[in-house]
């Protein structure tokens, strides 16, 4: 599925970065049927622009998440503990660019993302960037093994909203893959995310007016509980019942 964007003007990656860098930000996530996400696109301010690179507007993402053997990163999120963090590599498959990213909890619940340019051939390991992770996180958890625990693939369209410094992303064709090879796909679902400095964006207000509210979804933690039902999932149980398709077995 590809989000319809033909009625919006393009914005280059450089322009988008300058207009809405937002490495420290407030994220609001919404899970919608694809048809309702399409309806949202038709109601955005006509001054909204969409990221375009070499004539393309929807891009393939691959993320590998890393955690300790006892899943410290996951459990901090599941139980809403302080000092939550995520470690992942993110590969932009269409441009063959890769980053090592460390996301931490910022001021008043905001998200701080630090990232390091990474070799694409190292996307399944953190070892070449271990110094970077240790520098950001510090503490005991970084002295333990960090190994791949989950792989996600999806297609993303990114918008620069007409007012303020807000971004809007729409992710479709989501697929999670566990280390044992099991997969979970959501072909009829879109994850819409607004990224703002603090105040709600115009897209947030449109979503609220349509009856949608931000939901607690973590591509890492929610997907991991869907693939491993023995893990604690209270935060995402209702969301999973409503939107997540059954896991396909090998």
The residues spanned by each domain of the chain are 22-243
* CA trace torsion 20, 174, 89, 213 (10° rounding): 40
pLDDT at position 1 over 80: no
Residue reference for tokens 């070449």: 128
Report the C-alpha gap between 138 and 144 in whole angstroms: 11
Number of residues assigned to the chain: 250
Looking at residue 63, its pLDDT comes to 98
pLDDT at position 20 over 80: no
Task: Return the percent helix, strand and coil in the chain, to nearest 5.
Answer: 30, 35, 35
pLDDT at position 143 over 80: no
Strands 189-196 and 183-186: unpaired
CATH of 22-243, one of 3.20.100.30, 3.40.80.10, 3.60.10.10, 3.40.50.2300: 3.20.100.30
Average pLDDT, the chain: 87
Report the C-alpha gap between 20 and 161 in whole angstroms: 9
pLDDT at position 90 over 80: yes
Contacts of 137 (CB under 8 A, 6+ apart): 85, 102, 104
pLDDT tier, 94 (very low <50, low <70, confident <90, very high otherwise): very high
Report the C-alpha gap between 3 and 238 in whole angstroms: 26
The pLDDT > 90 percentage for the chain reads 58
135, 129 contact by CB (below 8 A): no
Query: Residue range 52-75: average pLDDT?
Result: 94
pLDDT at position 95 over 70: yes
The pLDDT > 70 percentage for the chain reads 88
pTM score over 0.75:
yes
> Taking the CB of residue 82, how many other CB atoms lie within 10 A of it?
6
185, 22 contact by CB (below 8 A): no
pLDDT tier, 106 (very low <50, low <70, confident <90, very high otherwise): low
pLDDT at position 18 over 80: no
Structure tokens at 53: 């690179």
Query: Residue range 24-53: average pLDDT?
Result: 88
């Amino acid at each position: 599925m590809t989000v319809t964007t033909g009625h919006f003007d393009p914005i280059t990656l450089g322009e988008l970065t300058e207009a809405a860098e937002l490495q420290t930000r407030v994220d609001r996530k919404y899970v919608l049927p694809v048809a309702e996400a399409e309806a949202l696109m038709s109601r955005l301010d006509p001054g909204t622009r969409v990221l375009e690179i070499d004539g393309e507007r929807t891009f393939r993402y691959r993320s590998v998440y890393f955690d300790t053997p006892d899943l410290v990163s996951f459990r901090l999120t599941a139980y809403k503990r302080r000092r939550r963090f995520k470690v992942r590599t993110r590969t932009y498959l269409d441009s063959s660019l890769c980053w090592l990213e460390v996301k931490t909890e910022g001021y008043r619940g905001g998200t701080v993302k630090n990232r390091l340019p990474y070799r694409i051939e190292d996307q399944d390991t953190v070892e070449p960037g271990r110094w970077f992770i240790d520098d950001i996180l510090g503490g005991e958890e970084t002295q333990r093994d960090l190994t791949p625990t989950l792989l996600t693939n999806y297609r993303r369209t990114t918008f620069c909203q007409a007012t303020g410094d807000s971004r809007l992303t729409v992710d479709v064709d989501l697929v999670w893959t566990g280390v044992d090879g099991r997969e979970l796909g959501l072909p009829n679902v879109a994850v819409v995310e607004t990224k703002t400095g603090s105040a709600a964006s115009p897209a947030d207000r449109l979503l609220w007016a349509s009856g949608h509210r931000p939901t607690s979804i973590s591509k890492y933690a929610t997907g991991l509980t869907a693939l491993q039902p023995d893990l604690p999932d209270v935060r995402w149980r209702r969301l999973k019942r409503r939107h997540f398709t059954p896991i396909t077995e090998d």
